[in-house]
């Protein structure tokens, strides 16, 4: 599963979902210090910045349409601290931009024949009672209704579910103190999706009372973790007093100005909590925000603010684990699980003609080793019925020579083995595959291949096998694995820009058309 994160902050979602194997496709954060934290911990992930521009980029295919969209749009517009300006506040309008982005992602995924995304959203409970019915507007946007939804009984309850033309939506208020951290932090979480067979209510509502992670199910159950040894947490109350119940008050972004959370040490000395203790109260690893910021280590103030603005990691992990458990296991015959295209179409996507033309100018391909009569890129080709894995390629070309191979992505490994074997017969192969270095076939390929070229600065728009039209927004980048028809010394790694390849290929095609 790959997810896009908006209002990313210091990425509680990423720390929560790393253990279940989910990967970030992109982040969206504009604040300087959280952006620096993202760059420190996830340097390979793009930070797209302004979230209001992402929907158009997704529609254009310049930004990946991921499996999951997660984020907590600014809560100030919905909270008492934000004067309850609601959707009239610019920050509240980001909530509507979030809906627009969710719709753009689903539209692109449908265009590519993929299942719709799963939406995860977090906010303060105050959103349920804002004077402008902001939550009803948000629900209506996600559900696809033309007018805002109204709560039964005059106010939104702390848990519920609605269904509309676009999506099914469930919401629930969860408190972090019942998920393993010593912080009283109540937040409303929304899970929504248009996927068939996926029920958001099953994610947020447990059926087996007594085994879940809810407040009602955990009364009397000690699940909290201390912040430091030999200390007692005192929680601030509205009466300007403190209570010793082992739980801190809710951490907030304003704490860098007014830290009222206290810890009484064993020798009765009173002090404020440290940024390290704030990280622990949110479930982050120690030192997550202690980064090089400018020419020195980050000051405490931006750390307090970023941690207070974030989500509780254990709550997000619980939600992610329940989503993962609810998804059907997809059985693949190979070790590449990146495609959500229907199985009958998954292996039929065609190579962009301009890309092939550019590479053909370099390698002079004699054979398309995995093709059909209607989409073969060379005069000589091997069909599925002929089984390229069992066919001698030397019967189709003059040796030494090169073969073009865009293999079925559902099972790449045997094609890697085939290309490796044919290279010993002075037959070179240029293979177009997903840019995934974590899979077994990549490790096997670089043991015998001469070169790996990563196609950078954009993703390829493959040709839809049904419509015959290019479809942008490919979920992964691409790379070329090259076996030369002569002995190798090592595997060389290089990059080539997508637009450079495509522009050169388009010129070649235009010249051919004009001839």
| Span 226-237, pLDDT tens digits | 555 556 666 666
Residue 380: inside a domain, yes or no? Answer: yes
Residue 436: inside a domain, yes or no? Answer: yes
56 and 140 inside one domain: yes
Mean pLDDT of the chain, nearest integer: 82
Listed residue (382, 358, 349, 353) closest to 368, CA to CA: 382
- d(C-alpha 354, C-alpha 504), whole Å: 8
pLDDT of residue 355: 87
Residue 285: inside a domain, yes or no? Answer: no
CA 401-407-408 angle, 5° bins = 165
- d(C-alpha 240, C-alpha 39), whole Å: 39
360 and 471 inside one domain: yes
- Contact predicate 20/320, CB 8 Å: yes
318 and 387 inside one domain: no
Q: What is the bridge-based pairing of β-strands 401-405 and 365-368?
A: parallel
- d(C-alpha 447, C-alpha 435), whole Å: 17
* Residues 6+ away with beta carbon under 8 Å from 337: 330
156 and 50 inside one domain: yes
At residue 421, does pLDDT exceed 50? yes
- d(C-alpha 365, C-alpha 378), whole Å: 7
pLDDT bucket at 186, cuts 50 / 70 / 90: very high
Q: What average pLDDT does this structure show over 192-204?
A: 94
CA 144-145-148 angle, 5° bins = 125
Number of structural domains, the chain?
2
- d(C-alpha 370, C-alpha 388), whole Å: 7
Query: For the segment 301-360, what is each residue's pLDDT rounded down to a tens digit?
Result: 999 999 999 999 999 999 999 999 898 754 333 444 444 444 444 445 678 888 889 999
Which CATH number is 489's domain given?
3.40.50
At residue 134, does pLDDT exceed 90? no
Residue 359: inside a domain, yes or no? Answer: yes
Q: What is the bridge-based pairing of β-strands 296-297 and 365-368?
A: unpaired
pLDDT bucket at 429, cuts 50 / 70 / 90: very high
315 and 455 inside one domain: no
pLDDT of residue 289: 96
pLDDT of residue 42: 95
* 491 part of the active site: no
Identify the active-site residue in 75, 137, 161, 378. 75
- Least confident span in 274-283, 341-350, 416-425: 341-350
The 478-483 sheet, strands edge to edge: 365-368, 401-405, 427-434, 478-483, 451-456, 492-497
404 and 317 inside one domain: no
Residue 292: inside a domain, yes or no? Answer: no
| Residue 285 DSSP code | P
Tokens for 299, please give them: 């000051």
Work out the percent of the chain whose per-residue pLDDT is above 70: 79
437 and 321 inside one domain: no
Query: For the segment 86-97, what is each residue's pLDDT rounded down to a tens digit?
Result: 556 565 678 888
386 and 443 inside one domain: yes
At residue 75, does pLDDT exceed 80? no
pLDDT of residue 374: 75
320 and 368 inside one domain: no
314 and 399 inside one domain: no
pLDDT of residue 206: 78
Query: For the segment 251-271, what is each residue's pLDDT rounded down to a tens digit?
Result: 876 665 565 555 655 566 777
At residue 184, does pLDDT exceed 70? yes
**What letters, b where the CB count within 10 A reaches 16 and e where it falls short, cover 474-497?**
bbbbbbbbbbbbeeeeebeeeebe
Query: For the segment 447-499, what is each residue's pLDDT rounded down to a tens digit?
Result: 899 999 998 887 787 766 555 565 555 567 889 999 999 888 888 888 888 88
Domain termination site, one of 274, 297, 326:
326
320 and 365 inside one domain: no
Structural domain containing residue 121? 2-224+309-326
pLDDT of residue 332: 36
At residue 101, does pLDDT exceed 70? yes
The most confident of 38-52, 125-139, 208-222, 330-344, by mean pLDDT: 38-52
The helix (run of H) or strand (run of E) holding residue 92 is: helix 90-111
- Contact predicate 1/322, CB 8 Å: no
pLDDT of residue 487: 85
Residue 232: inside a domain, yes or no? Answer: no
At residue 210, does pLDDT exceed 80? no
């Amino acid at each position: 599963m790959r997810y896009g994160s908006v209002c990313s902050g210091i990425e509680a979602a990423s720390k929560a979902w790393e253990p279940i194997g989910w990967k970030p496709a992109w982040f969206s954060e504009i604040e300087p210090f959280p952006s620096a934290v993202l760059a420190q911990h996830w340097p390979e992930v793009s930070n797209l910045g302004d979230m209001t521009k992402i929907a158009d980029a997704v529609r254009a295919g310049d930004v990946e349409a991921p499996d999951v969209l997660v984020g907590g749009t600014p809560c100030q517009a919905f909270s008492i601290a934000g004067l309850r300006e609601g959707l009239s506040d610019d920050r509240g309008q980001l909530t509507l931009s979030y809906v627009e982005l969710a719709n753009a992602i689903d539209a692109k995924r449908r265009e590519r024949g993929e299942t719709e995304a799963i939406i995860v959203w977090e906010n303060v409970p105050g959103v349920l009672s804002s004077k402008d019915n902001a939550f009803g507007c948000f629900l209506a946007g996600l559900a696809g209704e033309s007018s805002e939804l109204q709560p039964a009984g005059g106010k939104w309850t702390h848990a519920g579910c609605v269904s509309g033309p676009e999506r099914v939506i469930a919401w629930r208020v969860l408190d972090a103190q019942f998920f393993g951290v010593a912080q009283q932090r109540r937040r409303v979480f929304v899970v929504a999706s248009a996927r068939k067979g996926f029920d958001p209510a099953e994610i947020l509502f447990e059926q087996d009372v007594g085994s879940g992670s809810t407040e009602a199910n955990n009364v009397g159950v000690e699940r909290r973790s201390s912040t430091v040894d030999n200390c007692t947490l005192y929680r601030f109350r509205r009466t300007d007093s403190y209570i010793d119940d082992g739980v801190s008050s809710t951490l907030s972004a304003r704490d860098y100005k007014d830290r009222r959370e206290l810890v009484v040490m064993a020798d009765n000395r009173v002090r404020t909590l440290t940024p390290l203790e704030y990280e622990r109260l949110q479930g982050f690893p120690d030192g997550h925000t202690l980064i090089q910021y400018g020419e020195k280590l980050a000051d405490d103030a931006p750390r307090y603010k970023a941690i207070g603005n974030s989500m509780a990691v254990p709550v997000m992990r619980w939600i992610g684990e329940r989503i993962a458990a609810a998804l059907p296991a997809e059985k693949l015959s190979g070790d590449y699980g990146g495609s959500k295209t229907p199985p009958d179409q998954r292996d039929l996507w065609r190579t962009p003609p301009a890309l092939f033309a550019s590479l053909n100018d370099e390698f002079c391909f004699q054979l398309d080793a995995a093709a059909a009569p209607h989409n073969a890129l060379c005069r000589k080709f091997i069909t599925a019925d002929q089984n390229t894995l069992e066919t001698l390629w030397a019967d189709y070309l003059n040796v030494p020579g090169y073969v073009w191979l865009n293999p079925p992505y559902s099972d790449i490994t045997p094609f890697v083995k085939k290309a490796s074997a044919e290279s010993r017969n002075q037959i070179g192969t240029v293979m177009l595959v997903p840019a995934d270095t974590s899979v077994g076939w990549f490790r096997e390929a670089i043991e015998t291949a001469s070169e790996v070229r990563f196609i950078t600065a954009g993703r390829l728009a493959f040709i839809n096998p049904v419509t015959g039209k290019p479809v942008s927004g490919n979920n992964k980048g691409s790379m070329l694995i090259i076996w030369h028809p002569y002995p190798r010394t090592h595997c060389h790694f290089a990059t080539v820009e997508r637009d450079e390849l495509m522009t050169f290929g388009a010129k070649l095609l235009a010249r051919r058309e004009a001839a």
